[in-house]
Structure 1
Amino acid sequence: AQANDVARRLWPADLSLWPQNTLLQNQIAHRLGWLRVAEAMRAGVSDLAAWSAEVAEQVDDVVLLGMGGSSLAPEVMAAVIPQAEGSPQLTVLDTTDPSAIRRVESGLDLDRSLFIVASKSGGTLETATLAEYFWSRYSAAAAAPGRHFVAITDPGTSLASLAQDRAYARVFLNPPDIGGRYSALSFFGLVPAALAGIDLEPLLDRAIAAGQNSAANPSVNTNPPITVGVALGALAGVGRDKLTLVPSASLRPVGAWVEQLVAESAGKEGQGVVPVDGEPLGGPGVYGNDRVFVELALAGDPDDGRAARLDALAGAGHPVITLPLDDPHDLGAHFLTWELATAVAGSLLDINPFDQPSVAESKDNTDRVLGQITASGAPFDIPAGPRANGVLAAGSQAPDLTAALTGWLSSVHAGDYISIQAYLDRTSAHDAGLRSIQALLRDALHRAVTLGYGPRFLHSTGQLHKGGPDTGVFLQITADHQVDVEVPGRGYSFGTLIDAQAIGDLESLAARERRRLRLHLTDSSTDLETVASALRTALNQISPA
């Protein structure tokens, strides 16, 4: 009965679905534009397609500068949906890591590049500093540098004013009643997708049809998005709060978008649904009883043994949900399905799924640390600790690296999850090393293990880490910078900025007495193997709690 009631009340935007607090409900009333944004965007598709075709004649590369909800959806679309032949290459730059910035810049012909500056608030630190850097690469030499820039933001923001002052090629003002992580089907998702050569008509048509079907079916039994949301909320309430994503091969990029939507929406007030993306699918023996598995299955993708493994998990008593997609353009409906499900799960958990109250804390800490470093002019001091080869357990009082890891691992208990937070360039080599550590810890401890790259995860799972339950055990990984890049006009470099972000977030975790360990690498290209080796030794000295 309660589930059917949720289905009936969601589409009319019944604010009483969420916490019975007048202030919160007033805020929520201005955050529900995503429910019908697909219809509004559909009317402008022809204009957007025509403009994108004109841009494609002059541009080889489109670089999206944005964080979290301003970048993840278009990155997913470009990875999953086929693009028109001859379209520009879309690159998402959502980091302050100086190696990543240099790597992206080195692959560009600036005369044939376009930068999308995307920020709902208009003041996102990472986006603003990246925009200033690339603007500086043009402004000294190029005539009319604004023609290389496009802005997506809310009306009235500082970015909207800056874009006008600098004569950006185009400024897209997004509906202000849509939060960043619910903005996939708004200008934030669609403008980069159109520039990348993606056909938006079928994408939006599928989303509109899915919305109409959901709105017309008050019964939860015939309303898949509501079914998923009710299941996630109810299962979290009984301890199955580790939402484990199992995508087919073509849909692997989708997990990062789902992760930021769910974690930032549902991780607050000591509650949370913990999305787990990127774990290899294992047998029943490597999982605790805190899991729910959601398969994302694109028709035509190879099975790779996925069905048999999921059957075994279901047979062992784990809930398994399948969300099928007939073709890549069904991603439009898939986005809306997850947005609806997340809003419904928030209702069952009695939280506001449209705010992110803990995100600002790490930002404030970063600003304070940056202020200290620019005032003193001195470099950051890395706390002393035990070292093995190039790996330092910063701030640990343990006698050696293995002992530091053993102490940290011993703090992991039943119902916990491990969060690996890597302030590194998101390269294939780093990802392979970190994913192997993720699998190693999952298989040895039988606990959920998440992996996020900083500062990107601060706009995704960061809210969950601080506002959710005290079940996270955190491993922060930082590294020396082999190269660095100055931020124009700020008095610090991108290397200093990413270090300050890591320190600021670690301080937020420390203030909440979260279980944590920081490892600092001298050379990230080789030291991850030292970390993995030390973890294997440490794991042999403990037993899962």
Structure 2
Amino acid sequence: MNGAPSLPPEAGASVRRLFARDPGLWGGDRRTPELADRLGWLDAPARSRVLVPQLVALADEVRRDGVTRVVLLGMGGSSLAPEVFWRTFGGRAGWPALVVLDTTHPDAVAAVGDDPALITTLFLVSSKSGTTIETGSLCAYFWERTGGNARQFAAITDPGTPLERLGRERGFRRVFAGEPEVGGRFSALTAFGLVPAALTGVDVGEVLARAERAVAVCRAEPPASNPGLELGAFMADSWRAGRDKLTLRTAPPFGSFGVWAEQLVAESTGKGGRGIVPIVDEPAGLLDGRDRAYVGLAARESADLGAEFYRWEVATALAGAWMRLNPFDQPNVAESKKNTELLLKRLAAGDAAEPAAALADLPRALAPWAASIRPGDYVALLAWVPPAPAHDAALARMRAAIARARGVATTAGYGPRFLHSTGQLHKGGADSGVFLQVEAEPQRDLAVPGAEHSFGRLIAAQALGDYRALKARGRRVLRVRVGAGEVTAVADALEAALG
């Protein structure tokens, strides 16, 4: 952290109230939606230990059955912690690899389905609500591709959801229950994070043991050291001082930690015209600016990951209290979902057209967009394209060009993933975001069995719905739609336009 945090006078009382689950800490009461009923994460490390024998048994079982790949079908809180587990611990010889599929782009979906490993894949369908349209569409597609082989499916969902019923009726290999009192972005140390981790060889028992030790440390009151309290105070202090771009510095093996922290911080604080903007994976050499707050991780080895998750959860909850907001709700996320539902119907009827710049239009379209960027802003690249190394590289080039030319912080996210991560901040936070939405036409479309929409129509509706939600709030946004394989050319055009 750049500078020691100044603990507020009420710091000790805030810690006590947090662990007493007092909703008044955030200005609410027992009746406040998504507050008193979202504090189960506080003792999740201890409560989740009951899962360990079940997870070890399942992991041994799938290895005996020859499973070589686990494909996680999920969004946001259901997918980001598993990705961090996988990338932090890495693949282990003799254990399945993890593929996180949190996109509806037909090209990405087709790539997973066309892989020869399809017959040795376990599909882990993960959705807290059990109604997530992306997850449901992916489950339907791969259920058909596997010929309805129930042994190739397992689910994680809250009790009583449509997904739980579907898994029981179809005879999925396992159906794990989520915890209704733990919100998605705080669920890393519940079944949502632990099941996929265990399936790929992570010693989840050790991860939980270290997380339990973090619980004890994070309950400490001043003058005792409390890493969660100190980080939360730093986040809130920095935000009040105008240093609202929380720039995360990580080192191996924790290079991927930002993809999880980004959702936690953005979705928890980005509301009511306020918000902390997490900056992760920024190109090297661009970490500068008076609006920046720099922070690193306390974890030193892979098994510390659970403790680091917990530290950040405590910090974010306390920062929310000191920012006078509810860090457990997401009031603007539903808007893009509603827009998607409406646009799916309108796209089917052929009457949802919206202008978008093509590749040839970019030199003209980029000039006024770039001119709208002001000091203290951040630029968000919204990539509705299939995740791929070439697209990662193109986005990194665009971020570097913007930072050099305008001196502002940048973020980048693939759609629809970012809708479940930074999307709340984009619409609910301060009007300091400038958005470049890049959509790539799919090379082919894929039908969603049992649905009226295809994957191509779904991602088009999601992109257009989010664009309209941003425009409705007067956000500065440019929409670009290009052909498959032209994303790198967008980076070329942006570099040329910015000079």
TM-score, structure 2 normalization: 0.95
For structure 2, the 5+ residue unaligned runs are: 1-8
Does residue 10 in structure 1 map to residue 10 in structure 2?
Answer: no
More displaced, 406-415 or 353-362?
406-415
Partner of 1:249: 252
Is the CA contact (8 Å cut-off) linking 1:117 and 1:131 kept in structure 2? yes
Partner of 1:124: 132
- 1:474-497 Cα shifts (integer Å, max 9, x gaps): 000001111211111212211111
Partner of 1:290: 291
Does residue 228 in structure 1 map to residue 231 in structure 2?
Answer: yes
Does residue 185 in structure 1 map to residue 189 in structure 2?
Answer: yes
> Is the alpha carbon distance of 1:15 and 1:380 closer, same or farther for their aligned partners in structure 2, counting shifts above 3 Å?
closer
Does residue 106 in structure 1 map to residue 114 in structure 2?
Answer: yes
- 1:101-121 Cα shifts (integer Å, max 9, x gaps): 111122243332111110000
Match of 1:366 among 340, 343, 348: 340
> Is the alpha carbon distance of 1:403 and 1:221 closer, same or farther for their aligned partners in structure 2, counting shifts above 3 Å?
farther
Partner of 2:202: 198
- C-alpha separation between the residues in 1 aligned to 2:64 and 2:201? 12
Match of 2:60 among 53, 78, 81: 53
Partner of 2:4: none
Q: How does 1:63-142 map to 2 (within 5 A)?
A: 63-82=71-90, 84-139=92-147
Structure 2: which amino acid aligns with 1:325? A
Shift of 1:536: 2.9
Match of 1:355 among 329, 335, 347: 329
RMSD of aligned C-alpha atoms? 1.7
- C-alpha separation between the residues in 2 aligned to 1:279 and 1:237? 23
Partner of 2:475: 514
Shift of 1:27: 3.4
Partner of 2:383: 422
More displaced, 531-540 or 159-168?
531-540
Partner of 1:260: 263
- C-alpha separation between the residues in 1 aligned to 2:403 and 2:395? 12
Does residue 275 in structure 1 map to residue 281 in structure 2?
Answer: no
Partner of 2:170: 166
More displaced, 106-115 or 507-516?
106-115
- 1:108-156 Cα shifts (integer Å, max 9, x gaps): 43332111110000100000000000111133xx6xx212111101111
- C-alpha separation between the residues in 2 aligned to 1:207 and 1:371? 46
Partner of 2:51: 44
- C-alpha separation between the residues in 2 aligned to 1:220 and 1:158? 48
Structure 1: which amino acid aligns with 2:180? P
Is the CA contact (8 Å cut-off) linking 2:91 and 2:97 kept in structure 1? no
Does residue 531 in structure 1 map to residue 494 in structure 2?
Answer: no
Number of aligned residue pairs: 490
Partner of 2:151: 147
Partner of 1:212: 216
Does residue 29 in structure 1 map to residue 3 in structure 2?
Answer: no
Is the CA contact (8 Å cut-off) linking 1:83 and 1:199 kept in structure 2? no
What SS does the corresponding residue of 2:285 show, helix, strand or coil? coil
Is the CA contact (8 Å cut-off) linking 1:225 and 1:338 kept in structure 2? yes
What SS does the corresponding residue of 2:253 show, helix, strand or coil? helix
Is the CA contact (8 Å cut-off) linking 1:68 and 1:181 kept in structure 2? yes
Partner of 1:433: 394
TM-score, structure 1 normalization: 0.87
Shift of 1:198: 0.9
What SS does the corresponding residue of 2:249 show, helix, strand or coil? strand
Q: Kindly, what percent of the aligned residue pairs are identical?
A: 47
> Is the alpha carbon distance of 1:384 and 1:227 closer, same or farther for their aligned partners in structure 2, counting shifts above 3 Å?
closer
Is the CA contact (8 Å cut-off) linking 1:419 and 1:474 kept in structure 2? yes
- C-alpha separation between the residues in 2 aligned to 1:54 and 1:338? 33
- 1:334-360 Cα shifts (integer Å, max 9, x gaps): 000111111011001110000111000
Is the CA contact (8 Å cut-off) linking 1:433 and 1:529 kept in structure 2? yes
Match of 2:446 among 470, 477, 485: 485
- C-alpha separation between the residues in 2 aligned to 1:539 and 1:236? 29
Is the CA contact (8 Å cut-off) linking 2:75 and 2:420 kept in structure 1? yes
- C-alpha separation between the residues in 2 aligned to 1:118 and 1:201? 21
Partner of 2:6: none
- C-alpha separation between the residues in 2 aligned to 1:28 and 1:198? 32
- C-alpha separation between the residues in 2 aligned to 1:357 and 1:105? 35
For structure 1, the 5+ residue unaligned runs are: 296-322, 393-399, 541-545
- C-alpha separation between the residues in 1 aligned to 2:46 and 2:91? 22
- 1:213-241 Cα shifts (integer Å, max 9, x gaps): 221x1116500111001110121112111
Partner of 1:444: 405
Is the CA contact (8 Å cut-off) linking 2:243 and 2:292 kept in structure 1? yes
- 1:502-539 Cα shifts (integer Å, max 9, x gaps): 0000000011010000111123x3x3343233323332
- C-alpha separation between the residues in 2 aligned to 1:91 and 1:538? 36
Structure 2: which amino acid aligns with 1:18? W
- C-alpha separation between the residues in 2 aligned to 1:466 and 1:384? 20
Shift of 1:325: 1.9
- 1:366-409 Cα shifts (integer Å, max 9, x gaps): 000001122x2x38645265x5xxx15xxxxxxx5323211001
> Is the alpha carbon distance of 1:450 and 1:384 closer, same or farther for their aligned partners in structure 2, counting shifts above 3 Å?
closer
Structure 2: which amino acid aligns with 1:210? A
Q: Which portions of structure 1, spanning 4 or more consecutive aligned residues, are displaced by more than 6 angstroms?
A: none
> Is the alpha carbon distance of 1:27 and 1:401 closer, same or farther for their aligned partners in structure 2, counting shifts above 3 Å?
closer
- C-alpha separation between the residues in 2 aligned to 1:489 and 1:83? 35
What SS does the corresponding residue of 1:36 show, helix, strand or coil? helix
- C-alpha separation between the residues in 1 aligned to 2:155 and 2:294? 38
> Is the alpha carbon distance of 1:474 and 1:38 closer, same or farther for their aligned partners in structure 2, counting shifts above 3 Å?
same
Match of 2:355 among 374, 379, 383: 383
Is the CA contact (8 Å cut-off) linking 2:381 and 2:411 kept in structure 1? yes
Shift of 1:28: 1.1
Structure 1: which amino acid aligns with 2:250? P
Structure 1: which amino acid aligns with 2:75? M
- C-alpha separation between the residues in 2 aligned to 1:75 and 1:509? 28
What SS does the corresponding residue of 1:109 show, helix, strand or coil? helix
Does residue 408 in structure 1 map to residue 380 in structure 2?
Answer: no
Structure 2: which amino acid aligns with 1:254? F
- C-alpha separation between the residues in 2 aligned to 1:21 and 1:289? 37
